[in-house]
Amino acid sequence: MGTALAARLRRLMRLDYGRKIFLLATLPLIATAAAIAILLNIQSRQFAEREIAVLEAQLIATKKEELRNYLSLARTAIGFIYGNALPDDERAKTEVAQILAAMLYGQDGYVFVYDYDGTNIVAPRQTWLITRNWAGLGDAEGTPVVDRLIAIARQGGGYHSYLWPKPSTGAEARMISYVVGLQDWRWAVGTGVFLDDVLGPVAAARAATEARVARTFRWIAAIALGAVLFVFATGMSITIRERRLADAKLKALTQRIFDTQEEERGRVARELHDSISQILVAVRYALELARRRFATGDARAPESLSAGIGQLNGAIQEVRRISRDLRPGVLDDLGLGPALRVLVEEFGRRTGIETEFETVVFRNRLGPEAKIALYRIAQEALTNIEKHSGASRVSLMVRGHRAGAILRIRDNGRGMAWPPADGQGGAGLGLRNMQERMDQLDGTLRILSTGSGTLIEVQVPLRHMLAPDRQGEAPAADRAPARKDSA
């Protein structure tokens, strides 16, 4: 069960050509969209944090200015009494304490007073602090509170931030206090404001930024999804179209294969009928004549028998020729060079066309599929030259080079149209067969044709060459002397 499941998963994970193309198109798109989204997120957050920091600084600066104004009002309210009182005037101190205790604002705002020893004198919203010494008091974060306020008051005045219980809720919150010193009385007089109303707008701004970033992410995801769907739909349409074209080409190729097979069968049948059959009929007549002469004691009987044997030898040679045309044994026994030489020599003897053949030793052996392809292309080219070109001279060259192997066939005939028009038979089918053989080998076919002749050049890539043998030479199957042969 586990093995079957694993095999099924491997089959699902195996990518076909269409899936590879789809991934090749979509993965860069998705990666680009993700990179844009991440970069936009980082830049948006950085920009928002800068804006929020500026907003927070502005709000805190506003609150600090409010605190200065509150203490300015308090000092104005007690200025006449404090300015005319002596350092030990308890009555003036009590009166000033009462005035400051009455200065309340907002829900949690008030004025507080500590003497320089740390004893609380005024705390109207937190009366449990009054008359108690709070020297050394710190907040939940360990920040000194009372001692720091007194130190700032001794220096003339300033701000201090710390955690402090809110009078309205009793919960600790961040507070900024502004304190000044009444040096004659050794009092630290201050007021503070809680930053909830500052942090609230900051938090709202940060939440709005998060919402904008999330909305941007959704838009980018939607656009990327739309693009992926578009690529998928386009790929599907292209795949369907290409599949239809491939099916049409496959049907055409199949039909061409059938036509080629039928043409080859017809050629073999014609050759068997026109040559072998006629020769065998002549052999039969010769043998019958020899039998009658032997029966009558005619002295010419051996002559008739010799004629029949000679005609039988001709039939054997003709069978060998047809067999060699179908599959030349010399190609397997001696290699491409000798097989092409035999092909060119027989072509010259049969047609009377002047031929020239040139080859060199291959440093690497040709693979079997490459040898067969080059031989068939040469065979097809010579057949076309014989039937259609009207040439009087043909040259064929085959050799190896650093990039593979090359076959070049040149004639001085009347030329032809290339590429062949659709529906063109004869030479057009042969040239298409050449092109298809090269496509199978990932090789190249180049045809140059003018009114003064045609050049056909094919190249087989290096990967269809086999490694040389241990002596560094090609084996006998691919050896050919570096020479030119003319017929």
Q: Is residue 133 part of a domain?
A: yes
- CB-CB contact of 104 with 124 (8 Å): yes
Q: Is residue 338 part of a domain?
A: yes
Separation of alpha carbons 472 and 387, rounded Å: 42
The reported pLDDT for the residue numbered 475 is 44
The reported pLDDT for the residue numbered 203 is 72
Lowest mean pLDDT among 103-107, 417-421, 471-475: 471-475
**For the purposes of burial, counting CB atoms within 10 Å of the CB of 307, is it exposed (0-12), middle (13-18) or buried (19 or more)?**
middle
Q: Is residue 26 part of a domain?
A: no
Q: Is residue 49 part of a domain?
A: no
Determine the average pLDDT of the residues in 55-67. 78
The reported pLDDT for the residue numbered 417 is 67
pLDDT higher than threshold 50 for residue 310: yes
Domain boundary (150, 178, 194) is at: 194
> What is the three-state SS of 267-295?
HHHHHHHHHHHHHHHHHHHHHHHHHHHHH
Domain boundary (167, 194, 221) is at: 194
The reported pLDDT for the residue numbered 372 is 86
Q: Is residue 175 part of a domain?
A: yes
pLDDT higher than threshold 80 for residue 320: no
Neighbouring C-beta atoms of residue 341, cutoff 10 Å: 23
The reported pLDDT for the residue numbered 193 is 86
Structure confidence at residue 9 as a pLDDT band (50, 70, 90): low
The reported pLDDT for the residue numbered 18 is 60
The reported pLDDT for the residue numbered 25 is 67
What's the CATH code of the domain at 435?
3.30.565.10
Instruction: Compute the 3-state secondary structure of the chain and give helix, strand, coil in percent, each to the nearest 5.
Output: 60, 20, 20
Question: What is this structure's pTM?
Answer: 0.45
Lowest mean pLDDT among 115-119, 195-199, 456-460: 195-199
The reported pLDDT for the residue numbered 36 is 79
Phi, psi dihedrals of residue 458, rounded to the nearest 5°? -125, 145
Lowest mean pLDDT among 96-105, 236-245, 389-398: 236-245
Residues forming beta bridges with residue 357, ordered by sequence position: 396, 485
Highest mean pLDDT: which range of 6-20, 163-177, 214-228: 163-177
Q: Is residue 215 part of a domain?
A: no
DSSP 415: -
The reported pLDDT for the residue numbered 430 is 73
Domain boundary (157, 179, 194) is at: 194
> What is the three-state SS of 461-484?
EHHHEECCCCCCCCCHHHCCCCEE
The reported pLDDT for the residue numbered 464 is 65
DSSP 458: E
pLDDT higher than threshold 70 for residue 397: yes
Separation of alpha carbons 380 and 388, rounded Å: 12
Separation of alpha carbons 291 and 483, rounded Å: 52
Collapsed DSSP state (helix, strand, coil) of residue 208? helix
pLDDT higher than threshold 80 for residue 143: yes
Structure confidence at residue 22 as a pLDDT band (50, 70, 90): low
pLDDT higher than threshold 60 for residue 15: no
3/370: higher pLDDT:
370
32/391: higher pLDDT:
391
What's the CATH code of the domain at 97?
3.30.450.20
Q: Is residue 299 part of a domain?
A: no
Residues 187 and 333 in one domain: no
Question: 178 Cβ partners below 8 Å, 6+ apart?
Answer: 64, 67, 68, 70, 71, 157, 158, 159, 190, 191, 192
The reported pLDDT for the residue numbered 186 is 92
Percentage of residues in the chain having pLDDT higher than 90: 15
The reported pLDDT for the residue numbered 424 is 46
Best CA proximity match to 406, nearest among 342, 470, 456, 346: 456
Cα angle value 458/455/331 (rounded, 5°): 45
Residue ranges of the alpha helices (H) in 155-277?
196-271
The reported pLDDT for the residue numbered 21 is 67
pLDDT, tens digit (0-9, with 9 covering 90-100), for 258-303: 777 777 777 777 777 777 777 788 778 778 887 888 888 878 878 8
pLDDT, tens digit (0-9, with 9 covering 90-100), for 65-123: 888 888 888 888 888 888 888 888 889 999 999 999 888 888 888 999 999 999 999 99
Separation of alpha carbons 333 and 338, rounded Å: 9
The reported pLDDT for the residue numbered 114 is 94
Structure confidence at residue 471 as a pLDDT band (50, 70, 90): very low
The reported pLDDT for the residue numbered 423 is 46
Please give the tally of structural domains in the chain: 2
Determine the average pLDDT of the residues in 383-387. 87
Collapsed DSSP state (helix, strand, coil) of residue 171? coil
The domain of 358 spans: 328-486
Determine the average pLDDT of the residues in 230-243. 77
Average pLDDT in the chain:
79
Q: Is residue 346 part of a domain?
A: yes
Structure confidence at residue 369 as a pLDDT band (50, 70, 90): confident
- Edge to edge, the sheet with strand 453-461 lists 444-450, 453-461, 404-411, 393-401, 354-359, 483-486
Lowest mean pLDDT among 52-66, 67-81, 128-142, 390-404: 52-66
Residues 188 and 333 in one domain: no
Best CA proximity match to 101, nearest among 90, 113, 115: 113
Determine the average pLDDT of the residues in 9-16. 56
